[in-house]
Chain A
Amino acid sequence: MTTTTCVGGSAARLIELRFLRPLNEAERHRLEGHLTTCGACQERYRRLQRAERIAAHGVDGAQELPSPFELERIAADLGLYQPEPPRRRAWAWPLAWVGALAVAAVLLVFLPPPREFLQDRGAEVAPANFAVFTADRAGGVVALETQATLQPGSPLKLRVAAPTPVALPGMAAVFVGEGPPVVITLPGLDHVDAPTTVGGVVVVPELPNGAVWLYLVAASAPLDPALLSRGLADRPEVLVAKERLSALVVERRLLQVERTP
């Protein structure tokens, strides 16, 4: 089994996007151009496609049968099918439901993923990804995924990967839930070109039980906690527009804070 180590970070992102939404013609052209020369990205594409196929047809059918989304992608490329984009804006949720979250957090729920949001607005977004790990009760290490349950006081460790070398001197984790955002700044990284562990440990702050967004931020300049707190509570693109931060990476995960007696 080969590993996927591509230096074409934007192409790797295009592959992800192709599985999330239809690419426009220019994006598809760029992707195809890259795939004719990059074996690592071909492998990345094959794995994503395989995961979709196995979800649809199981292990045996996946070898030959395209997944439903694969068929839709090709139909879209042929101009036969135009998938409707998902609604991005908030609609009238019942007030009782809204009351469960702070206003800032509710607004953030309906924003598109920050990375796309920033790219749509022309911001330079570094082709980097975060992984967050925590310790489980048995003492093992588990990757922290969306909807995971967090205990206040538990430690988190961040790892950032960038397929093209990038300097990220500004690094922070921000918890946005009920109450003011909690910003935890971390030591920056001078050079990232392979999965690199971020120095320091993020200790989950004392937050009330319930939903919380964890924002992972990396930027081309040291980050000001007050600015981050304001920026993420408003909108991430404010950070780009007002502070002129480039190579900004923002990822977020929706988590549940839950104390156990």
Chain B
Amino acid sequence: MILLERRSLLDGFRRGDKAALLEVYRHYAPIVSRFLTRGFTFDSQGQLCSFRGFRGGYEIEAALQEVFRRAFEEKARLAYNGLDPYQPYLLRIARNLVINDLKSKQPILFRFRQGGPVVLEPAHEEVEELPPVPPDAADRLEAEEVARLVANFRATLDPREAGVFRARFEEGLASEKAAEALSLTRSQVRTTEARLKERFLRHMQAAGYLDHYRPGKATSAALSGVLLLLLGGPS
């Protein structure tokens, strides 16, 4: 609704002002991301199908980028009437983009699947957005493992680092806002953030999540055993 409520933002959006586009993007990107992840139903040659959405990873980032690239083209910006809510208009762009890509011999959105199939299932009723798919047991286990690693990392932070982590990693405040909230300079926030990102990465690697991740205690116990032997003396 932000474009309907603020005339100046709508004007800036139509002109293509970067600040206005960025504000619109920040407002709608989570909504579009959810839409692209959940999927939707559509009519294909007289049959109702459901597209079960994008998986995570680079695929979803590339899809989000492509939706906003199209939506922010001058033609698309000027075609928005400014009277109706922008969200359905934007999701229509996303939906058409996916459907056209499904038909395309050289897909843009689905090129990260290495030729893997995009599964379309028959649908019984037309819905704008499918309900979320509950994660399976393995997925849930992985998520909980990552949450534990994140909590361990958080526990190692000093007060300034914890503040920057909360403001930037969790709440997504802009650097200036984070600096204001934490009584730091922007430079301090940026430097602390850069260090935290590097440490976060190394933490997840050292814990084994990012490379050679295998859930289950048996594997880590076996690894510990091998290392204990190695630590026993010079090899």
Contact = CB atoms under 8 A, between A and B. Distances in A.
B212 A78 contact: no
Contacts of A253: 202
Contact of A36 (B111, B206, B214): B111
B26 A71 contact: yes
A4 B213 contact: yes
A201 B233 CA distance: 7
Given A78-B72, A157-B230, A47 B21 contact: no
Contact of A51 (B138, B146, B170, B171): B146
Contacts of A147: 156
Nearest to B211: A4
Contacts of A108: none
A39 B210 contact: no
B233 A46 contact: no
Contacts of B57: 42-43, 45-46, 49
Given A19-B197, A157-B231, A161-B211, A70 B61 contact: yes
A139 B56 CA distance: 39
B18 interface: yes
B214 A3 contact: yes
A214 to B, nearest CB: 13
Interface residues of A, number: 76
B207 A143 contact: yes
A1 B111 contact: no
A140 interface: yes
A80 B65 CA distance: 11
A206 interface: no
Interface in A50-109: 50-56, 58-59, 62-71, 73-75, 77-81, 83-87
B234 A199 contact: yes
Given A36-B111, A56-B170, A80-B21, A4 B197 contact: no
Q: Is the interface of A mostly helix, strand, loop or mixed?
A: mixed
Contacts of B77: none
Nearest to B59: A42
Nearest to A83: B175
Given A81-B22, A146-B202, A201-B233, A86 B191 contact: yes
Contact of B68 (A3, A45, A74): A74
Contact of A145 (B62, B147, B203): B203
B80 interface: no
B94 to A, nearest CB: 14
Interface string B208-235: 0111111100000001100110110111
B111 to A, nearest CB: 5
B204 interface: yes
Interface of A: 1, 3-5, 16, 19-21, 32, 35-37, 39, 42-56, 58-59, 62-71, 73-75, 77-81, 83-87, 113, 129, 131, 133-135, 139-141, 143-147, 155, 157, 161, 195, 197, 199-201, 253
Interface of B: 18, 21-22, 25-26, 29-30, 33-34, 37-38, 55-62, 64-65, 68-69, 72, 111-112, 114, 132, 135, 138, 140, 142-144, 146-147, 149-150, 156, 165, 168-172, 175, 186-187, 190-191, 193-194, 197-207, 209-215, 223-224, 227-228, 230-231, 233-235
15 contacts: A36-B114, A39-B114, A42-B57, A49-B56, A52-B169, A55-B169, A55-B200, A59-B140, A59-B147, A65-B34, A66-B29, A68-B171, A69-B168, A85-B190, A197-B235
